[in-house]
């Protein structure tokens, strides 16, 4: 996926003209195929017609990079990995903690040429000489958990099978505490609370639903929040993810009428358009390794890893 902002030069021009000028090797037929498949979004909304665009519109274009740029997947991935890699938050011989940007998928998908977080980490470790593809006793870097494509923040990646097994166990048993910061609509009351409700995941729609009471297929979720900065229209929160279910924070805060700003699925479109962000203002900013017995990772017991100075690019 590529996100591009419409400059004043193309104000009130047809979308195909803007895209064809921006991507010189993009066939016109590919633009109209993407429209038919609703693979182009304007300000977070899917479009199926060749509409006129306005200055400042944000277009998310879900067209394979080899079609957009006329180059092969390997070249695209190598270039993207080297451009987007950033210094690790933490690294040792067992683990790698990286700060993922919003818009980057954590794992590979078969229908796209875009670089995933695992692509970037794999290249990083290859260039360091720590990972050699195809080596009999080698271990490919592996995610210990996931973040949504449009959520930024810290992701843990294992370099060894032993580290992976331990981290999966610690995460399952809530011995890795996960904290997020987000910008929400309005200001929750009280200013600090623990939310307990029930969640149902509809995999077909890629959406979850919250209930006050337990129902068949629903599982309990627990989310804690406290207000860091309060405003009338928007507020900044710290959120602790106690249970880790799909879209839990996004859906849970929306359920109490304080959805995350920029969230196209559970948020308020009017506010999202006003602040002009194309992803949810949600960042996994802190991990606390609250281990009991960490085995070979016991040296990390009590460690806190935190991202400072989160820039949501939203003024309130």
* 148 labelled catalytic: yes
Q: Residues 148, 165, 257, 290: which is the catalytic one?
A: 148
Residue 179 and residue 154: Cα distance in Å, rounded? 10
Report angle CA 121, 178, 125 to the nearest 5 degrees: 10
Residue 147 and residue 301: Cα distance in Å, rounded? 23
Name 3's bridge partners.
60
How far is CA 91 from each of CA 114, 115, 157, 305, rounded to the nearest angstrom?
Answer: 25, 21, 10, 11
Residue 55 and residue 57: Cα distance in Å, rounded? 6
Residue 157 and residue 154: Cα distance in Å, rounded? 10
Residue 126 and residue 130: Cα distance in Å, rounded? 6
131 in Cβ contact with 125 (< 8 Å): yes
Residue 294: both structure tokens together: 């960490």
Q: Using omega within 30 degrees of 0 as the cis cutoff, is the peptide bond preceding 190 cis?
A: yes
Catalytic residues: 148
């Amino acid at each position: 996926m590529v996100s591009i902002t419409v400059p004043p030069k193309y104000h009130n021009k047809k979308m195909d003209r803007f895209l064809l000028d921006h991507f010189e090797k993009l066939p016109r037929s590919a633009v109209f195929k993407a429209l038919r498949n609703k693979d182009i979004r304007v300000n977070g909304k899917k479009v199926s017609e060749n509409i006129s665009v306005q200055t400042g519109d944000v277009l998310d274009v879900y067209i394979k990079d080899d079609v957009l740029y006329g180059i092969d997947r390997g070249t695209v991935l190598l270039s993207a990995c080297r451009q987007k890699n950033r210094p690790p938050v933490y690294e040792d011989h067992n683990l790698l903690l990286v700060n993922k940007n919003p818009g980057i998928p954590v794992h590979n998908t078969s229908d796209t040429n875009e670089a995933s977080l695992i692509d970037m980490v794999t290249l990083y470790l290859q260039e360091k000489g720590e990972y050699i593809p195809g080596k009999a006793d080698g271990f490919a870097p592996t995610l210990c958990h996931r973040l949504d494509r449009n959520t930024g923040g810290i992701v843990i990646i294992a370099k060894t099978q032993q580290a992976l097994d331990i981290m999966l166990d610690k995460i399952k048993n809530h011995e890795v505490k996960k904290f997020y910061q987000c910008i929400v609509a309005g200001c929750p009351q009280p200013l600090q609370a623990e939310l307990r409700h029930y969640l149902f995941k509809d995999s077909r729609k890629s959406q979850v639903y919250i209930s006050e009471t337990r129902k068949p297929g629903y599982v309990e979720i627990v989310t804690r929040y406290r207000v860091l900065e309060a405003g009338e229209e928007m507020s900044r929160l710290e959120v602790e993810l106690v249970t880790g279910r799909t879209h839990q924070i996004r859906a849970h805060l929306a359920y109490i009428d304080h959805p995350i700003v920029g969230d196209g699925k559970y948020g308020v479109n009017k506010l999202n358009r006003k602040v002009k962000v194309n992803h949810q203002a949600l960042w996994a900013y802190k991990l606390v390794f609250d281990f009991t017995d960490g085995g070979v990772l016991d040296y990390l017991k009590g460690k806190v890893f935190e991202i400072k100075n989160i820039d949501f690019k939203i003024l309130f």
